[in-house]
Structure 1
């Protein structure tokens, strides 16, 4: 298999990953259809940092995956999540999305659920707590959705 076809195979798997998970930023251990997509993405980021990823590949990743991040860390992820939550509020009028809600390809429901879990476990930095509470007046740290079935 050539380098080009391996890259194209990774792109195809990343598209499938996005279709399932709503983001192009998998965790290191994530796989899709048996393909180690998390490792593949981390290798592309490493190639980028080392300056060995060709410009056309950089452009392809950035154009095909709007939420693509070259560098991921807790701060960038928090800021990216806040930006998506702002767009969600503008579109839906609430900062309390359902678990599976996605906005612009970003899994906002999962991001919000993770922030709530961090808060409940005492893991969320106090500055993040203050920022969320100040910016989103309808924010709820503990939310329970009714599990009843509907008829009709």
Structure 2
């Protein structure tokens, strides 16, 4: 067995232990498992996914079918956080800012993202109708909606909105300069329309 195979097997062993405990592999890039850089290792496997052997791909897929989803891994982490919250109170209907945001942009979701959300019990509106509604929004309003969704995703994942100035959040495959957006909005909050001001303030409550 060569050193590359040994390195893969070591990473797979840590991934197996993590998946057995948490049920998924959507970990942050800086995540450590028993001092092993599992997050960095998984990020590398995703980057090299097209070059992985069928055996290695199958091994990772067996641990988590969505270890390398066609959507941002940050979405997958937020989904698992929402799933945990739902499982903690099985009698409660799915709620929360992130889930609400998913309903609002359902027209941009991958069909499998819709299926995952519906499995949580989330009642999603018609995707085609949602796309038609979003297409009627002015470009500036669409950008605000996208940045607002990015802020909600960040807070859902991190538990706060102390976003570094240069932080970029990926949402629906698009990059949002979230740190800069929040900084700008704090400075010009008085110029926001009343509905947008309310939605911005709601982020901090």
Q: TM-score, normalised by structure 1?
A: 0.51
Give the match for residue 124 of structure 1: 101
SS in 1 for 2:87: coil
Distance (whole Å) between structure 2 residues aligned to residue 60 and residue 7 of structure 1: 11
Residue 150 (structure 2) pairs with residue 135 (structure 1): no
Runs of 4+ in 1 over 4 A off after TM superposition: 131-134
CA gap of 1:10–1:71, structure 2 versus 1, over 3 A, is: farther
**Which one has the bigger helix percentage?**
2
Give the match for residue 69 of structure 1: 68
CA gap of 1:47–1:125, structure 2 versus 1, over 3 A, is: same
Distance (whole Å) between structure 2 residues aligned to residue 69 and residue 40 of structure 1: 13
1:125 to partner: Cα distance? 5.7
1:41 to partner: Cα distance? 0.4
Give the match for residue 18 of structure 1: 19
Give the match for residue 33 of structure 1: 34
- Alpha-carbon RMSD across the aligned residues, in angstroms, is 4.3
Contact 2:15 2:38 (8 Å CA) reproduced: yes
Distance (whole Å) between structure 2 residues aligned to residue 65 and residue 81 of structure 1: 14
Query: Whose Rg is larger?
Result: 2
Any unmatched runs of 5+ in structure 1? 89-94, 102-111, 137-152
Q: TM-score, normalised by structure 2?
A: 0.40
Match of 1:97 among 87, 94, 102: 87
Contact 1:45 1:70 (8 Å CA) reproduced: no
